[in-house]
Amino acid sequence: MLERTRNKKQTEITFALPAGHPAGEVSVVGDLNDWRPGAHPMAERPDGTRAVTVTLPADQRHGFGNLADGGHWLDEEGADGHDGRNGLLHT
């Protein structure tokens, strides 16, 4: 799930996953962090869901994915599109 807060110069994106799915650590990787696993790990919230918030410049496009333990990629249903391999996000 993606949650967005926009203003003229930037967009704050919260990437979130349901409680307990999947087990283990998950991080958001993509153009926003040079595809570095662990750069934006999701942290557990009080309700058991996991999330991380990233602030990006407005009016840009980013490829991204959610990378889980064991090298498993998770699709983001809330993405603005897909390029055949990655989710796409427009800020």
List, for residues 18-65, the tens digit of each pLDDT value: 998 888 899 999 999 999 999 999 999 999 999 999 999 999 999 999
Domain range for residue 80?
2-90
Comparing 76 with 36, the larger pLDDT belongs to 36
12, pLDDT greater than 90: yes
Domain count, the chain: 1
Contacts of 21 (CB under 8 A, 6+ apart): none
pLDDT value at residue 21 = 81
Output the pLDDT for position 8: 87
Average pLDDT over residues 71-87: 88
CATH value at residue 24 = 2.60.40.10
Helix %, strand %, coil % of the chain (to 5): 5, 50, 45
